[in-house]
Structure 1
Amino acid sequence: MKVITKEELMLNKDLYYSKILEGATLVYPTDTIYAFGCSALSEKAVKRVREAKERPEKPFSVIAPSKDWIRKNCVVDEKAEEWLDKLPGPYTLILKRKNIDCVAPSVNPLDDTLGIRMPDHWFMEVVAELGIPLITPSANVSGKNFMTSLDDMDSQIKQHADLMVDVGPLTGTPSTIVNLAAGEEKIIRRS
């Protein structure tokens, strides 16, 4: 595991972006809390995150690289479009996928929905530049407290992370989850 700063990530984009595209797992900051993710296209990497989090089936949300990516791969009706207008922000939108192969099968092994995030945070620029979605579960073992600082990171997560982007303590809470997959708005969790 290698701990890097935002500055180091930005100075060495080619190196770190290629690692992510090749399936590296990473702990990274968002506008809410630290996430533990990887390329949502890498089945092997997604399974590594799933194993570390002890989360065998529960779906993972993704940070989408753009709103265009969301519209291309998910069903976006009028209500969903209203929520897309609120992005970037502290929301996870659950949408029905129209392109089932837009992420690896292990991202959501249960159905054809996908949780979508676009954080209001500089790390969103990284995802946009990568041009691929990253899974974005909280950086903790399932059922344990979410992490706002790498100092408090669970050792199991540290062992499974190839990279950790440290920006110091975060003060957020998990995102608000809005299920729009059935064509109506249902708030599942508020931040």
Structure 2
Amino acid sequence: MLNDIKKAIEVLKNGGLILYPTDTVWGIGCDATNPKAVEKIFKLKQRIDSKALICLVADDRMLKKYVKDIPRAAYDIIDITDSPTTIIYDDAQNLAQNLIAEDGTIAIRIPDDDFCFQLCRKLNGAIVSTSANISGQPTPKSYKEITQEVLKGVDYVVNLHREKICSKPSAIIKLSNNGVVKVIRA
């Protein structure tokens, strides 16, 4: 695992894309503060850049770096959920502008996965995490379902968990600063 982390960090710091296993599905990732790297993901996925992407952070402390005002309910959700849950927050900050939605929101998850945790820690920042597919195509449930187009479009493919079958993407909850909670994807 350490070798994969070292190589992935090198690619991320140089503005490249990685293909990596997350706590949910295989993801395409980049440094979430690098707008050129984020643009590469939109191009690879053939996705319009007005559709927001998810980021991963290591912990609460790192979350505070990217969200101006974290609602108290967010901590409760993070603590009580036993399945991967992404929260959409208002007032994103310190991220690539093309990663932040037009309304100023950002979707962030704290993964329960040692590799993702270590990756965020070693990068000392957020990592984009979007499913390893072309926009509109099915999300691959395993490494072997990832298309050649995606495999050739990234700069580094992590060697871990290639046999793992992924259950499903994370749940997504929008948690507005005005107290409104909306389930986007269960």
- In the other structure, the counterpart of 1:3 is none
Q: 1:78 aligns with which of 54, 65, 72?
A: 72
- In the other structure, the counterpart of 1:30 is 22
User: How far does the alpha carbon of each residue in 1:141-162 deviate from its partner, in whole angstroms, 9 at most, with x for none?
Assistant: 1111112322221222112100
Change (3 A) 1:98 1:137: closer
Opposite residue 95 of structure 2, the aligned amino acid is V
Structure 1, unaligned runs of 5 or more: 1-5
Where do residues 73-112 of structure 1 align in structure 2 (5 Å cutoff)? 73-74=66-67, 75-86=69-80, 89-97=83-91, 99=93, 102-112=94-104
Please report how far the alpha carbon of residue 37 of structure 1 lies from its aligned counterpart in structure 2 after TM superposition.
1.1
So what's the TM-score if we normalise by structure 2? 0.88
Where do residues 43-54 of structure 1 align in structure 2 (5 Å cutoff)? 43-54=35-46
Quote the Cα distance in structure 2 between the aligned partners of 1:66 and 1:189: 22
C-alpha contact 2:58 2:111 (8 A) present in aligned 1: no
Is 1:113–2:109 an aligned residue pair?
Answer: no
Is 1:142–2:138 an aligned residue pair?
Answer: no
Quote the Cα distance in structure 2 between the aligned partners of 1:16 and 1:81: 29
Deviation beyond 3 Å, 4+ runs, structure 1? 86-89
- The DSSP-based 3-state class of the residue aligned with 2:130 is coil
Q: 1:175 aligns with which of 170, 176, 180?
A: 170
C-alpha contact 1:40 1:62 (8 A) present in aligned 2: yes
Opposite residue 79 of structure 1, the aligned amino acid is A
Q: 1:185 aligns with which of 165, 175, 181?
A: 181
C-alpha contact 2:174 2:184 (8 A) present in aligned 1: yes
Aligned residues: 180
Change (3 A) 1:80 1:133: same
Please report how far the alpha carbon of residue 86 of structure 1 lies from its aligned counterpart in structure 2 after TM superposition.
4.0
Structure 2, unaligned runs of 5 or more: none
Quote the Cα distance in structure 2 between the aligned partners of 1:8 and 1:71: 29
Change (3 A) 1:151 1:98: closer
Q: Percent identity?
A: 26
Opposite residue 183 of structure 1, the aligned amino acid is G
- In the other structure, the counterpart of 2:34 is 42
C-alpha contact 2:31 2:126 (8 A) present in aligned 1: yes
